Amino acid sequence: MMSLSVARRLIEIQRVLVRHGLDEFVTATHLYRPLRFLYFLQPSTWSERRRGASRGERLRLALEELGPIFIKFGQAVSTRRDLLPTDIADELAKLQDRVPPFPDAAALAAIERSLGQPVDAVFGSFETSPLAAASIAQVHGATLKDGREVVVKVLRPGMHAIIRRDLEVLYAFARLALAYVPDAARLRPLEVVGEYDKTIMDELDLMREAANAAQLRRNFAGSPLLYVPEVHFDLCRSDVLVMERIRGIQISNMDRLRELQVDFQKLAEHGVEIFFTQMLHHNFFHADMHPGNIFVLADDPKNPRYAAVDFGIIGTLEPRDLEYIAGNFMAFFERDYRRIAELHIESGWVPAGARVNELESAVRTVCEPIFQKPLDQISFGIVLLRLFEVARRFQMTVQPQLVLLQKTLLNIEGLGRDLYPQLDLWKTAQPLMREWYRRRLRPRALLKDARHHLPEVIESLRATPPLLRRLVREAEASPRLIGSRDAGQAQVAEAVRASGRRRDQTIIAATVLALGVLWLAVAEPWWPGGLAAAAAVGFLLARR
């Protein structure tokens, strides 16, 4: 049953769309059709309608009025200029950092309340006019008492209540879809909204964002590709974040980048490399890569470097999902359509009853015509849209945990194509994928995995003696299982002695394995430890 607050919000959304002259969105939505005539007949609605504005401007203004969740949708869509009409793309790009700010006095009051002291006592200087305003927060320039430049990010007032209200609306839409749309169960709308719920509520905690920034900074320490600003944790709170100020060029400022003769091809390829490095090697990726969050450090225009801000949305993958995603990428690069089909079934994304040869044929039908084009004309976004058609036929369920990754990759490709239209995503990414696979198969990587699981192995060994004692007691209490009690006791005694010998041998092998892994981690040359660990692993596997 839909709550009264959700119903009111749905009516409010319709009113905003109609008032901004976006009648086609209302007309196209089945949910609104019974109500839309009420608004078309109201004189107040027509008197408030925006006249003379372009469709892009009307759409942007409507999204701004509807609030953070709708603004974020506009931000995400704006990164794919190759898939949008130019007028709409230009207007939606303004949502990236030019959302109307909230009053300066409210921002100052929020900062002073969180820090527990006046702004003048904390900062050497503070700019009351914001540098940028986004959907859930705005940023002010400041300096610390020692003169270092920083930015101060502060949440908009009442954000938690506003976000929670619109999440209820999204859940209501998801439930309606499940009830009335035949294909909705496969799309798992409730789970998708649930993932978005966690993502955006995490984004409202600026202490979490500070921790994300610190982790990303460690991951790229010394990297020539990406610079992450320093966080001042002593001045961070759940609704206030203070970090180093970046003096770079916003990536959307193409004219300035051209003026400096920045190497656009290298910049675009570096963006792809950064994404795949984050996904494959760190499993920790910036998942809000719209142009408002990306700057270019062009001290050396021939070797430009990215600088990122806004770390509220970070993506990670379960190891199993990462393996399947990487496998699909590699199979796609190599046109191994059968492997793609097998991976989809093995992962559970496609029902187990699906026939591999039929899925292989369907994927080939989508991909082969695309590969007939030059690689720099292949859009990952178009490939995804075509594969969604295949997914519907084979009842493939949406994987909510992968939605953030797909969105980020689409953003990265869109951004790269803006910088360098000839960007060959596949050529840039393929060497990174191959290197990741090579690293995964190196003995040292395999032994690192063994070291990771070693505590579990040792814990299992510790549990062995109690388990054996229990088996002995059960055997003594059940003579039928061993013929006679005396014979059974003799057999059990021998089994216990043999088990003890095996346990001692296993403990010795596990100890050798642990010492070998420790040698690999801290000593040079590495090969003695590698040989010892490999021998121990071989012994343990042989005894299984």
Residues with catalytic function: 288
Q: Are 365 and 160 in contact (CB under 8 A)?
A: no
Q: How many residues does the chain have?
A: 544
Q: Which long-range contacts (CB under 8 A, 24 or more apart) does 215-222 make?
A: 215/284, 215/314, 216/284, 216/286, 216/308, 216/311, 216/314, 219/278, 219/282, 219/284
Q: What is the DSSP letter of 279?
A: I
What ranges in 133-240 are assigned the alpha helix state H?
159-180, 184-187, 189-203, 206-219
Tokens 């036929």 — which residue?
A: 393
- Give the amino acid at 1: M
- Three-class SS state of 511: helix
| Distance in angstroms (rounded) separating the CA atoms of residues 5 and 544 | 60
| H or E stretch at 315 | strand 314-315
For 316, the token pair is: 């990670």
Q: 486: exposed, middle or buried (C-beta count within 10 Å: 0-12, 13-18, 19+)?
A: exposed
Sequence-distant (6+) residues with CB within 8 A of 364 are 337
- Three-class SS state of 220: coil
Picking from 362, 367, 372, 281, the residue whose alpha carbon sits closest to that of residue 331 is 367
Picking from 267, 294, 247, the residue whose alpha carbon sits closest to that of residue 408 is 294
User: Angle at which helices 443-462 and 464-477 pack, to 10 degrees?
Assistant: 50
Could you write out the DSSP letters of every residue in 70-119?
HHHHHHHHHT-GGGS-HHHHHHHGGGTTBSPPPPHHHHHHHHHHHHTS-H
**Other C-beta atoms within 10 Å of 70: how many?**
18
Provide the sign of the torsion angle of the four alpha carbons 39, 41, 46, 48, taken in this order: negative
Virtual torsion, Cα 512, 518, 522, 528, nearest 10 deg: 20
Cα radius of gyration rounded to whole Å, the chain: 29
**Other C-beta atoms within 10 Å of 131: how many?**
16
Q: Are 205 and 240 in contact (CB under 8 A)?
A: no
For 544, the token pair is: 């299984």
Sequence-distant (6+) residues with CB within 8 A of 139 are 130, 131, 132, 133, 151, 152, 153, 154
| Distance in angstroms (rounded) separating the CA atoms of residues 496 and 184 | 57
